[in-house]
Structure 1
Amino acid sequence: MSGQLTTMVRVHLRTGWLAVVVWVVAVGGSMALTVSAIQDLYDSPEKIHSYAAAVRDDALMMINGKIAGIDSLGGIIANEFGFMASFAIPFMAVSLIARTTRKNEELGRLEAVLAGRISRTTPLLAAILVAVVAEVMITVALFASFAGVGVPGRDAALYSLSMGALGLAFIGVASIAAQLVEHARGVYAFGLGAIIAAYVLRGIGDVQWSPLTWLSPLGWQEQTRAFGNQRWWPLFIPLVVFALLSAAALAIASRRDVGSALLRVGAADPHASRFLRTPFGVALRCHRGSLLGWSAATVAVAGTFGSVAKPLVNAIDGNPSLASAMGGGAGATGLDSVLAMTALLLALLGAGYAVQAVGLLRAEESSGRLEARLSGDRSRSSWLSVQLAVVGAGIVAVLVAGGAVFAASGSWSTGVNITQQVVRSITDFLPAVAFFGGLAVLVFTAAPRWGSAVWLVYAAGAVIAYLGDSLNLAGAVLALSPFHLIGNPPVEAVDAGNVILLTALTAACLVAGYASFRRRGIPQV
């Protein structure tokens, strides 16, 4: 058994090492960047206490969590990193499990592996171990970042371990999801839904009814109170959840037929609709799950921020120093700051959808479906054009869904009609969103094996855009983010020169991508 497990771990690492590296570098690098900037920004007790007084607001706690010890350097770091970590660390667990379980099963790799002398549970157990190793690396990276700026070792250890335990809980969630649903996209959807539910429960619990916090894995992490009155016992809750869900997943895997699932979709219509028989119909069906998942995430984020817009505006107007932390900049009104921050978040989600949607084209190639479709009279360029048209329409749909929900909920919360400002701000970010789509197309067509690297570029751009201004990063660093090149709508006017630059880069990526796609071999595995 140990020899089989070692072999499968090596196989998973051989085929998925880049994804592990991208996630560890992205999350660990984000923390290192946050720690470095905060160390310089809050270098005196007076500044630390001033920050703590500014962020003690229910609306802000709903977004970032209720951080114990917020009046310490470690507490400030946890607060600044909290929103991003709430999504990045759980989604990393979901992504790694989906790639090494259902994706391999869909591509026929699992069946080939089980045809040898490998037991049914070994591939899943190996996938869990690889994901656990990645979470351990994240834990070490977080601890090293804290230790580097003099945060007490006990505080740093508890916070880092709580984040690692959070990741383990979602490894268990993803592992059981991989047994329940038929496709990798279903694992992503299940995991994303669990992340959103955990975030909402933690947010409501922090500001309205505290028992709800204990129903959320994010709440378990928060309740360790790493920088305040520390509690180590909440660490055991996610560990028990991880153990129980992983054991259940392994038990199901030992009995489940390859390709089957406990939750199966009902029998489809034996006759495809006329639209489904068209190239656009096929492409839309391919992207449907991803589109629905990202739209749901965008709606959830937009609804959360819109519903607390009024208290956020009041908090910022009552403390102008918060405007910079919220993305508004000096002199910005509270409403402008909330609009700027939310528009950026929606743009980040739109760009994330673009990268993943283009990544699905790689799955079409790896599965052999692309080769079959091009064996007839379809040209490569026409196939790619249809796919990109559907992806482009999906980007618009994701942004429209989020924008509409934020405009409605924000207008209700503030009593001011903000629809025009929301539409204008989101539209201003479209060139940055399109750039990531173009970059993903270029990588897929020219170097498909390096698709995961696009996520690293996306992560860097997102971190710089979201934290750059509040952390006073150097201008040269800020310029590395396409989102930051746009400016800060609606607070600042959009930089027309940078819009032209991003548009030109996107066009160049697409032209080079089409040229590469016409020449390279298919499939390229």
Structure 2
Amino acid sequence: MNGSLLTMVRVHLRTGWLTLTIWVIALGGTMAFTVSAIQGLYNTPAKVDSYAAAVKGNALMMINGKIAGIDSLGGIIANEFGFIASFAIPFMAVGLIAKMTRKDEETGRLELVLAGRIARADPLLAGVLVTVVAEVLVTAALFASLAGAGVPTGDATLYALSLGALGLVFAGAAAVAAQLVEHARGVYAIGLGAILAAYLLRGLGDVQFSPLTWLSPLGWQEQTRAFGDQRWWPLLVPVAAFVLLVAVALGVVTRRDVGSALLGVGATTPHASAFLRTPLGIALRSHRGSLIGWSAATVVVSATFGSVAKPLVDAINGNPSLASAIGSSGATGLDSVLAMNALILALLAAGYAVQAVGVLRAEETAGRLESRLSGERSRWAWLSVQLALVVVGIVAVSVLGGAVLALSTSWSVGQNVAGQVVGAVVDFLPAVAFFGGLAVLAFGVVPRWVPVVWLAYAAGAVIAYLGDSLNLAGVVRALSPFHFIGNPPIEPVHASHAALLVLLTVGCLVWGYVGFRRRGIPQN
């Protein structure tokens, strides 16, 4: 490794160690958490066989994939962890690459770096290498959890490597995306679109037993069949795709101008509109990309899950043990499906809330916040306009997702479920707002810890999504704001719990406002 490249690796590690650490802890901890719960819950062959019989069917195959060896401990772990891994591991790779490449370029830091003795391609290559390190650490953590639970070494190794290779594909795709668009948010948008496309292709291919599976990186990971009749050669496909994509990105980055992109924005007007020059217009421009991206993702996910509601309802009604496997024991098939889908919609809305507040931190680190507060405008006024748009965004994401979920589910099951869907979406809003308030608190008091809120979000999401199915202790499940609310529409919402979350959210907002008024800007 030459000195220039080594210097950039050190720079990326120095500036991005917190984000990398959070991702590794979140993914490794989620796997360890899942393994520990499953190991204690399915500890006899009879229980394992009962689980395998419960989850067979096209509806669940569309959601979690076609798991080889589902009648084994490793197969159960893969089925429970698979949905989270399908999105989190690829998104980790996309996020790391976007931060270490296009983000540095659009803020002008890359141009300063290249003014020294740094080769043109080294910042990108260093970012790829650091992302590979993150994938290796996650792979090692996944293997350790599986092997520690008694899963055969060969099975654990192949499964962990397949997920690591999955992340590499999206790291390569993000590296290419960083050459196509001018802003980091564009890299995130392309990456998220690629993840959703891969998920849908894998799901449709599994259900229809068609070659569509082989068009998806998630399908390549699945085809290793780690807990069944193992196949190691599919690992070569994502590795080859990663090498090819990185080679393409390196070829482009050495030929284009710094700050440019292959997909230019074209000619624009020489002056901003009157609205764009207002505080609200500037704020809307800042949040536009994240709002569009999360709304599109929510619509796609809601339509996908709603469209497979009927076969899943029939499967639960025909096999009550399936309701227990997905954490809805004793409920009707329709209520179980609505509860699961409403929770997923709430998780997406909360994810948007955290990311939208993160946009405020990006404005500060880019140097734009300091200039906007240099005039007569107060800090509280600026923050209030920004948070008003965050609230509007949460409502928009929830309304769009809820409408699509209600329409697709009603079409699938043949009856109107709009009222139940709307009620469940509204019930989860205090939990969604809490994560937004927590992010505001971090931004206002200790802004460099804003990424840590994602760790709290991940813990809450995992507990809510897997807590019931893994039979976790009540005190553990209560740690998740989503679970703290209840399980609508299966169970009534705990009014006192919702009120407590509202009070905590208000407290976070007040503390965040006060901290933002008093702290220095910018603050590292």
After TM superposition, the score normalised by the length of structure 2 is 0.99
4+ long deviations beyond 4 Å: none
Match of 2:320 in 1: 320
Q: Distance in 1 between matches of 2:208 and 2:384?
A: 49
Q: Secondary structure at the match of 1:67?
A: coil
Match of 2:386 in 1: 387
Match of 2:300 in 1: 300
- CA distances 1:249-308 after superposition (whole Å, capped 9, x unpaired): 111111111110001122223343332222111111101110111111111110111000
Q: Distance in 2 between matches of 1:268 and 1:387?
A: 25
1:165 and 1:238 in contact (8 A); partners too: yes
Residue 222 of structure 1 deviates from its aligned partner by 0.2
2:287 and 2:356 in contact (8 A); partners too: yes
Q: Distance in 2 between matches of 1:108 and 1:373?
A: 18
Q: Secondary structure at the match of 1:168?
A: helix
Partner letter of residue 147 of structure 1? A
Partner letter of residue 519 of structure 2? R
Residue 401 of structure 1 deviates from its aligned partner by 1.0
Q: Distance in 2 between matches of 1:375 and 1:324?
A: 58
1:155 and 1:226 in contact (8 A); partners too: yes
Match of 1:406 in 2: 405
Partner letter of residue 81 of structure 1? F
Match of 2:421 in 1: 422
- CA distances 1:334-386 after superposition (whole Å, capped 9, x unpaired): 00001100110000000000001100101111111111111112110000000
Q: Distance in 1 between matches of 2:76 and 2:494?
A: 32
Match of 1:359 in 2: 358
Match of 1:376 in 2: 375
Match of 2:86 in 1: 86
- CA distances 1:444-498 after superposition (whole Å, capped 9, x unpaired): 1111111110100000000001001100111111111111100000000101111
Q: Percent identity?
A: 74
Residue 187 of structure 1 deviates from its aligned partner by 0.4
Q: Structure 2: 5+ residue runs without aligned partners?
A: none
1:327 and 1:340 in contact (8 A); partners too: no
Written as runs of structure 1 = structure 2, the 5 A alignment for 1:356-505 is: 356-505=355-504
Residue 320 of structure 1 deviates from its aligned partner by 1.1
Written as runs of structure 1 = structure 2, the 5 A alignment for 1:156-305 is: 156-305=156-305
Match of 1:17 in 2: 17
- CA distances 1:475-524 after superposition (whole Å, capped 9, x unpaired): 11111111110000000010111111111110001101111111111111
1:34 and 1:81 in contact (8 A); partners too: yes
> Which is worse superposed, 263-272 or 401-410?
263-272
Residue 4 of structure 1 deviates from its aligned partner by 1.4
Partner letter of residue 201 of structure 1? L
Q: Distance in 2 between matches of 1:488 and 1:397?
A: 22
Partner letter of residue 196 of structure 2? I
1:354 and 1:395 in contact (8 A); partners too: yes
- RMSD of the TM alignment (CA)? 0.9
Written as runs of structure 1 = structure 2, the 5 A alignment for 1:101-112 is: 101-112=101-112
Q: Secondary structure at the match of 1:429?
A: helix
Partner letter of residue 32 of structure 2? A
1:326 and 1:338 in contact (8 A); partners too: no
> Which is worse superposed, 272-281 or 142-151?
272-281
Q: Distance in 2 between matches of 1:243 and 1:432?
A: 42
2:54 and 2:325 in contact (8 A); partners too: no
Partner letter of residue 439 of structure 1? L
Q: Distance in 1 between matches of 2:339 and 2:125?
A: 44
Question: Could you say if the C-alpha distance between residues 295 and 93 of structure 1 is closer, same or farther in structure 2, counting changes exceeding 3 Å?
Answer: same
Partner letter of residue 336 of structure 2? S
Aligned residues: 524
Question: Could you say if the C-alpha distance between residues 327 and 273 of structure 1 is closer, same or farther in structure 2, counting changes exceeding 3 Å?
Answer: farther
Q: Distance in 1 between matches of 2:443 and 2:374?
A: 20
Q: Distance in 2 between matches of 1:89 and 1:173?
A: 13
Q: Distance in 1 between matches of 2:363 and 2:322?
A: 46
> Which is worse superposed, 3-12 or 173-182?
3-12
Residue 209 of structure 1 deviates from its aligned partner by 4.3
Partner letter of residue 214 of structure 2? W
